[in-house]
Copies of this chain bind each other. A is one copy, B any other.
Amino acid sequence: MAEYRILPLPGYAPTIGRLVAMLNDVRQTTLKAVEGLTCEQLDHLHDEQSNSIGALLAHMAAAEREYQILTFEERQPTAAENDAWSAPLKLGDKGRREIRGHELQFYLDELRRIREATLAALAEHDDVWLEAPLRIAPNLNAHWAWFHIAEDEINHRGQIRWLRARLR
């Protein structure tokens, strides 16, 4: 029987481990939501305003990379970084134009590559760091920031499920 538990995880400080358990749980549901989609299905635009499912996956990876910079590198993204990620971060017209033609594995590889870096960095931090105000954004802490990354992924996974149910 599958186990669904949020608990401290070996290799992480206790509260960070619980957060990692949440991030892992969410990622499993995302992977399930996109399983087996073809390139054509990943590129499909439901209507003129819609983001493709592929673009939503690219957005999840880009948002996570942005929050690595904010929380682990304690800086704002450079202009070059912002420019490189503006399509997946902002989505909309630019995302519709630029993010297409990829197989599912392309998006999954990027999600996995960025997640591995997140988990490696979280393993190096402690729970005091997790809940202290962020140096470059003292109105938030890293616990909120990483919860927000889970939240953003779930939000778009909800949209992916909706869009997938309407693919022909």
Show the binding face of A for B, using Cβ within 8 Å: 1-7, 15, 18, 22, 25-26, 29, 47, 49, 131, 133, 139-141, 143-145, 147-148, 151, 154-159, 161-162, 165-166
- Is there an interface contact between A7 and B155, defined as CB atoms closer than 8 Å? no
- Is there an interface contact between B139 and A1, defined as CB atoms closer than 8 Å? yes
Known: A139-B2, A140-B5, A159-B159. A151 touches B154 (CB 8 A): yes
- With both beta carbons as reference points, the residue of chain B lying nearest to A51 in the complex is identified as B162
When all copies of this chain in the complex are counted, the total is 2
Known: A147-B22, A158-B155. A7 touches B131 (CB 8 A): yes
Interface contacts beyond A49-B165, A154-B158: sample of 19 additional A-B pairs, CB < 8 Å, sorted by A: A2-B139, A3-B139, A4-B141, A5-B131, A5-B143, A6-B131, A6-B143, A6-B144, A7-B141, A15-B18, A25-B151, A47-B166, A49-B166, A154-B154, A155-B157, A155-B161, A156-B158, A159-B159, A162-B162
Interface SS of chain A: helix, strand, loop or mixed?
helix
Write the nearest CB–CB distance from A71 to chain B, whole angstroms. Answer: 12
Write the nearest CB–CB distance from A134 to chain B, whole angstroms. Answer: 10
Contact of A6 among B25, B47, B147 (CB under 8 A): B147
What is the CA–CA distance of A157 and B154 in the complex, to the nearest angstrom? Answer: 9
What is the CA–CA distance of A49 and B162 in the complex, to the nearest angstrom? Answer: 10
